[in-house]
Amino acid sequence: MASTLPPYIKYLSAFVLIFGILYKYEIPTTDNKTFLLTKKSTLQYNKSHVYQIITNIDRYALWYPNVVRVEQSKPISSGSKKQVDGKYQLITKIPLIGDISSELTIHTKDRPKRFVYSVDSWLLEVNSIELKDNSNNINSTDIQWTVYTKRRSMLFQYLILPFAKFYKNQLVREALFTLMLQIRNL
Ligand SMILES: *[C@@H]1O[C@H](CO)[C@@H](O)[C@H](O)[C@H]1NC(C)=O
Ligand SMILES: *[C@@H]1O[C@H](CO)[C@@H](O)[C@H](O)[C@H]1NC(C)=O
Ligand SMILES: *[C@@H]1O[C@H](CO)[C@@H](O)[C@H](O)[C@H]1NC(C)=O
């Protein structure tokens, strides 16, 4: 019976099998995350001011290229000081696909030195943004932006990783460039 099947069925099932294995098996990584990229820039404001700008999620859409908007996941209790840490819905525009919503988690415990946020998207990304006083000018800040992924399937690690790096690299570069040019208006 099997011998009467057209040959492409065999190739197809072999392909599906390999795809399934690659998708299912996870590669152990240190810290459960894989480095994607790091980018640096210098912004013409002091550290606390820059920190305030990059943690102002209401304004992400103004400087992060594919962000449409950020929504509160749960309402913040009014009266208390504005609390940034927590979970949000990040709406991004993906080429050919359209708007998608992912969960955004923000941690600001190392204020104002480090800002960490993770996005529960196809990339399972963790962004770590470090701020340092610029040694030449007290009114400017060096920013270093590093992106990791928590995806560990072999499919992702062997096939998708290079494209993910390329894609994310463009976005972070554009974000930093827009920040540099627009920081006065943010
Ligand atoms: C990696 O993830 C596993 C389970 O998901 C967990 O048990 C382990 O503690 C994590 N390791 C690190 C370094 O976070
Ligand atoms: C940082 O810059 C902001 C805006 O220019 C200013 O209001 C603030 O006083 C500065 N803080 C320090 C510590 O220099
Ligand atoms: C830094 O900015 C303050 C005002 O925000 C200004 O008085 C001071 O001269 C500036 N210092 C330098 C080195 O640019």
Query: Per mean pLDDT, which range of 11-20, 59-68, 114-123, 147-156 is the poorest?
Result: 11-20
Distance of CA 115 from the midpoint of ligand 3 (Å): 25
Q: Is 33 helix (H, G, I), strand (E, B) or coil?
A: coil
Relative to the alpha carbon of 148, which ligand is closest?
A: 1
Longest dimension (CA), the chain: 78
**Candidate from 21-30, 43-52, 69-78, 161-170 with smallest mean pLDDT:** 69-78
Contacts of 154 (CB under 8 A, 6+ apart): 21, 22, 23, 25, 26, 27
Task: Tell me how far apart the alpha carbons of residues 91 and 66 are, in angstroms, rounded to a whole number.
Answer: 9
Find out whether the beta carbon of 49 lies less than 6 Å from any atom of ligand 2: yes
Q: Where are the beta strands (DSSP E) in the chain?
A: 34-43, 67-72, 86-94, 98-107, 114-119, 125-133, 141-149
Which tens digit of pLDDT belongs to each residue from 121-159?
A: 989 999 999 999 999 998 999 999 999 999 999 889 888
Q: Which atom of ligand 2 is nearest to the CA of 47?
A: 1
- Atom 7 in ligand 1: residue holding the nearest Cα: 32
Q: pTM for the complete prediction? A: 0.83
Q: Which structure tokens are listed for 133?
A: 């006083």
Cα 141 to Cα 47: distance, rounded to the nearest angstrom: 6
Q: Are strands 86-94 and 67-72 parallel, antiparallel or unpaired?
A: antiparallel
Q: What is the CATH number of domain 36-76+83-185?
A: 3.30.530.20
| pLDDT, tens digit, 9 for 90 and up, residues 82-122 | 567 889 999 999 888 899 999 999 988 888 999 999 999 98
Å from CA of 184 to ligand 3 middle: 15
Instruction: Confirm or reject: Cβ of 31 under 6 Å from ligand 1.
Output: yes
Q: Measure the CA–CA gap between 184 and 110, rounded to whole angstroms.
A: 24
Instruction: Residue 139: name the closest of 14, 28, 46 by CA.
Output: 46
Strand 98-107 to 67-72 pairing:
unpaired
- Domain segments of the chain as ranges: 36-76+83-185
CA of 108 to the centre of ligand 1 (A): 22
